[in-house]
Amino acid sequence: MIRAYKVRLYPTKEQMVLIEKTIGCCRKMYNEMLNERKQAYEQLKDNREKLYHYKYRTPAQIKQEFSYMNEVDSQAFNWVQMNIKTAYTNFFKSVSGVRKGGKIGFPTFHKKQNFGAYTTQVISIFDNKHLKIQKLGKVKYSDKRTIVGKIKHATISKTPDDKYYCSILVENNNELPEKVQLNNNSKVIGLDMSLSNFYVDSFGNSPEYIKRYKSKEKKLIRLQKIESRRQKHSNRRKKLRKSINLINNYIKNQRLDFTHKLSRKLVEENDVIVVESLSLKNMSGSLKLGKSISDLGYGMFITQLQYKCDWYGKHLVIADKWFASSKICHICGHKYKDLTLKDRKWVCPNCGAQIDRDENAAINLKNLGMGYIHECMSSQNISSAVKHIECN
């Protein structure tokens, strides 16, 4: 199993300077490689065979032109070369339709910013307080978890609020646990997304949800207006930008803390979790709800549920996007086709039941999970019968 641990770094002033130099050199290396590929394409686009066999410069050859690159970690440049190859591969696969997901554009030049990241090697860990990083030496870090396993590589990043982090990729000998055996007593829960309550579950409950961005929106607008009137590249504008970045980072951390605790609680308490298949990007654009959906962080919450269900051996069921969870009456099964988005409560024309839209959708999702349990139980019985026949 491969896991990533993101820890906070506390580098010295000399180490900070070296980290920022490495980030800047990696940006320069990436832009040089991309520029060379663009020029080669413009010159050789009529001769595809020659373009295919064209030999691009290696990081070592580019370093010879820029002597200041010798000061930083050379392993970071190898990762830059891999990243640009990956960007090109993803673009051409996306254009040809081989790659799943949304369309990916052509690689663009990296801009100079006050933050960035680079990938290198962590040599070892000392007393759960220091990391020995290539070229940087010993760097103090803070994290309560014990990092166990073989270290593959690490990504060192600087955030807009001038904090440093290291994401360590670790490979250990542990395997993912087997999925829990399902039966009629297995706990199932259905979750229907709600912009006002985060979600409504099949029991009619919702978590204590606070709109993180909305609570700080007025303060951010005021600071951004002041920033727009400050002179560009001035120290006063930089200080104000740092204050804005601190608020945005606070919002992000609050949202992450909420979703991590909530997802872990759901995974520990239930055997099967059923959620909707939502295209949040399309919803935010078509329904003009981009700010509310981004503030919700529901996509990040589903991602956390997915890998935590794998860690704990639980089952996550994602309903088909065409499953009409809101339109189907959970009592009689009648599909009310005239239901609109504005209708939060409706009366079933078949059985006359008073139905709450969100709770009804969550119950339908739970019923879908019950069907999943019966399918798993029948497949388990078939497999056990096959084993019994083989033994005989």
Q: How far apart are CA 172 and CA 312, in angstroms?
A: 17
Phi, psi of 171 (to 5 degrees): -110, 125
Q: What is the pLDDT of residue 390?
A: 45
Task: Answer whether residue 380 shows pLDDT above 70.
Answer: no
Tokens of 45: 């686009």
Q: What is the pLDDT of residue 95?
A: 85
Does 358 qualify as catalytic in the annotation? yes
Residue 257, Cβ neighbours under 10 Å: how many? Answer: 11
Q: Is 131 exposed, middle or buried (0-12, 13-18, 19+ CB in 10 A)?
A: buried
Please answer whether residues 206 and 197 qualify as being in contact, where contact means their C-beta atoms are separated by less than 8 angstroms. yes
Q: What is the pLDDT of residue 383?
A: 52
Closest CA to 75 of 64, 67, 63: 63
Closest CA to 358 of 208, 168, 123, 196: 196
Q: How far apart are CA 165 and CA 35, in angstroms?
A: 30
Please answer whether residues 121 and 135 qualify as being in contact, where contact means their C-beta atoms are separated by less than 8 angstroms. no
Q: What is the pLDDT of residue 139?
A: 93
Phi, psi of 182 (to 5 degrees): -95, 145
Amino acid at 221: I
C-alpha distances out from residue 360 to 179, 270, 280, 355, 365, Å: 28, 20, 21, 7, 9
Tokens of 234: 């001035």
Among the options 161, 276, 295, 359, which is catalytic?
276
Element (H, E) at 309: helix 298-312
Tokens of 66: 């820029």
Q: How confident is the model at residue 388 (pLDDT cuts 50, 70, 90)?
A: very low
Task: Answer whether residue 392 shows pLDDT above 60.
Answer: no
Contacts of 329 (CB under 8 A, 6+ apart): 335, 336, 348, 350, 351, 353, 355, 360
Q: Which of 85-89, 135-139, 289-293, 321-325 has the lowest mean pLDDT?
A: 289-293
Please answer whether residues 36 and 56 qualify as being in contact, where contact means their C-beta atoms are separated by less than 8 angstroms. yes
Does 276 qualify as catalytic in the annotation? yes
Please answer whether residues 267 and 177 qualify as being in contact, where contact means their C-beta atoms are separated by less than 8 angstroms. no
Element (H, E) at 42: helix 13-44
Judge if pTM exceeds 0.75: yes
Q: What is the pLDDT of residue 286?
A: 67
Instruction: Note the Cα 383 to chain centre separation in Å.
Output: 36
Task: Answer whether residue 387 shows pLDDT above 60.
Answer: no
Does 127 qualify as catalytic in the annotation? no
Q: What is the pLDDT of residue 124?
A: 83
What is the average per-residue pLDDT within 40-52? 86
Please answer whether residues 292 and 195 qualify as being in contact, where contact means their C-beta atoms are separated by less than 8 angstroms. yes
Mean residue pLDDT of the chain comes to 88
3-state secondary structure of 384: helix
Task: Answer whether residue 389 shows pLDDT above 70.
Answer: no
For helices 75-96 and 13-44, the axis angle rounded to 10 degrees is 40
Please answer whether residues 367 and 328 qualify as being in contact, where contact means their C-beta atoms are separated by less than 8 angstroms. no
Among the options 32, 73, 161, 192, which is catalytic?
192
Total residues belonging to the chain: 392
Please answer whether residues 356 and 344 qualify as being in contact, where contact means their C-beta atoms are separated by less than 8 angstroms. yes
Strand 315-318 and strand 272-275: pairing? parallel
Which tens digit of pLDDT belongs to each residue from 97-113? 888 877 888 899 999 88
Q: What is the pLDDT of residue 385?
A: 46
Q: How many Å is the maximal CA-CA distance in the chain? A: 85
